[in-house]
Amino acid sequence: MSNKLKLTLLLSATCIATWWLVTQPKALQETQDMQEVAEEATGDASCEGVSNPYKDYYGLDGTALNPQRAFDCALNGHAFGYGVLIMAYANGKGVGRDLSEAIQCAKEDPDAAPYAKNSRIERLTAQKQACEDDPKSERCLRVYHYFSDSTSGRAMSFNKQLSRWFEEREVMERLNDELSQLKGDTTCQRPPTPSIDRYRYRYTQLGDDQLKLTKQSKELTLTVKGIDAVLDELKELKEVPEELVYLDEHPHKALFPYAPPIINAEGSGSFLYTSKNWYALDGYLGREYALQLTNPTGQLVYFWDLGGQYSDSVVSVDLKTAQIKVIGGRSYLPGTLFQQSDTAERRVDIPLELGYERDKLKLLELKAGVALQLTPRQTALRTVDPLSGRLGVCQLKEE
């Protein structure tokens, strides 16, 4: 009996809802009876505890990249292993490259929907032909991903996730490479306390969109059109901030909550909604920001814009000059952000690779500029000095 036939028989007894389990690793870990069946089917001690061979193959969720182990476990009958076998043979990861074997595995895949199976066979056959015509051609050397030929919504979602992980990994590798070439102290130079703490005020709503701000012996009254409706909405949600930040030492003024931003993952595709958040620049109310920082002089205000004027960008506003700098500048919509003065002369886009998973991004204040942390695991951070437009990199040390 061939290895492939053995694998077919083993997988037929253990494969249930492949796509759902691949895209829901927590559910896979929690399904104890399925785990036991999978381990029995594997029959290989080196594969005990392997809940998802794609983690080994791709190095996902903190798992060390180990395509050899992924291939061995798949070959020995681990549940959900056919996709790993096809990719291992197609890409030469974990085993010598053999597109004929990859095509054969694709034909025997018991879990594939008919359309997805045919699509994989056609794609791999075309790649095999390209390699026979020219082994150095781009089409021959192209990396094959099992989930790129899928009909399941969950599988296509997982493939999109993979693309995000790949891009994130590339960004991290570039930053680490830049960091390795620097000499001297590469530690992220952060102030001992956040500069924003100097500008915190208690506040009272006076009605008619007026706010009274108090801090020790200092007292101010501001008018921000529309602010009552925003704060009343947050009161109903029990998410109203206790303090506000007011940057008032320069010609232009900025006001926003001293509180973690409210980010809701609701609706189709788990798109992020930030409409409950707000800021005010010179009394003009804005919504949909996600983060806020300032610098030691209170001259700059930064915020992360997920879906407003500057989609998926960090926006820096200079309160001396009203100049806007878009850090990232992936996309933006025409309009106004600052006193009807959002013009090409006042806006400066700073190109920056932010990667995906941007809803997890954090802005960290530095002594000169700001650092962007894309994921909690990241320690090599991209730095930006909005005053000079200079990009850099630094090493984040554990506190």
pLDDT of residue 26: 30
pLDDT of residue 328: 67
pLDDT of residue 270: 47
Six-digit token pair at 156? 């296509």
d(CA 160, CA 148): 9
Q: 219 has which bridge partners?
A: 214
d(CA 188, CA 180): 14
Six-digit token pair at 369? 């500029």
Q: Which of helix, strand or coil describes residue 302?
A: strand
| Domain extent listing, the chain | 3-179, 195-395
Which residues, 6 or more positions from 193, have their beta carbon under 8 angstroms from its beta carbon? none
113: pLDDT strictly greater than 80:
yes
d(CA 286, CA 337): 8
Six-digit token pair at 137? 């051609």
Q: Which of 283, 262, 257 is nearest to 274 (CA)?
A: 262
d(CA 245, CA 288): 17
276-303 residue pLDDT tens = 678 888 888 877 676 788 999 999 988 8
Six-digit token pair at 27? 């559910």
Do the strands 200-207 and 243-247 form a parallel or antiparallel pair, or are they unpaired? antiparallel
Six-digit token pair at 302? 């930064």
d(CA 264, CA 105): 42
Among 6-15, 149-158, 245-254, the minimum mean pLDDT is found in: 6-15
Q: Where are the beta strands (DSSP E) in the chain?
A: 200-207, 210-215, 218-223, 243-247, 254-257, 264-265, 272-273, 278-281, 284-287, 289-294, 300-305, 313-318, 324-328, 347-351, 362-365, 370-373, 380-385, 390-395
Q: Could you write out the three-class secondary structure of 61-122?
A: CCCCCCHHHHHHHHHCCCCCCHHHHHHHHHHCCCCCCCHHHHHHHHHHCCCCCHHHHHHHHH
Which 8-state DSSP code applies to residue 127? H
For residues 59-78, average pLDDT: 78
Q: Are 102 and 89 in contact (CB under 8 A)?
A: yes
275: pLDDT strictly greater than 70:
no
In percent, how much of the chain has pLDDT > 90? 30
For residues 71-91, average pLDDT: 81
d(CA 257, CA 275): 14
Number of Cβ within a 10 Å radius of residue 368: 16
35: pLDDT strictly greater than 70:
no
50: pLDDT strictly greater than 70:
no
142-194 residue pLDDT tens = 989 888 887 776 777 777 777 767 777 777 888 899 999 998 999 999 999 99
Check residues 328 and 109 and name the one with the higher pLDDT: 109
pLDDT of residue 299: 93
Among 32-46, 121-135, 258-272, 346-360, the minimum mean pLDDT is found in: 32-46
d(CA 148, CA 300): 44
- In terms of Cβ atoms closer than 10 Å to its own Cβ (0-12, 13-18, 19+), residue 84 is buried
Do the strands 200-207 and 300-305 form a parallel or antiparallel pair, or are they unpaired? unpaired
206-229 residue pLDDT tens = 999 999 999 988 999 999 998 999
In percent, how much of the chain has pLDDT > 70? 69
The predicted model scores a pTM of 0.62
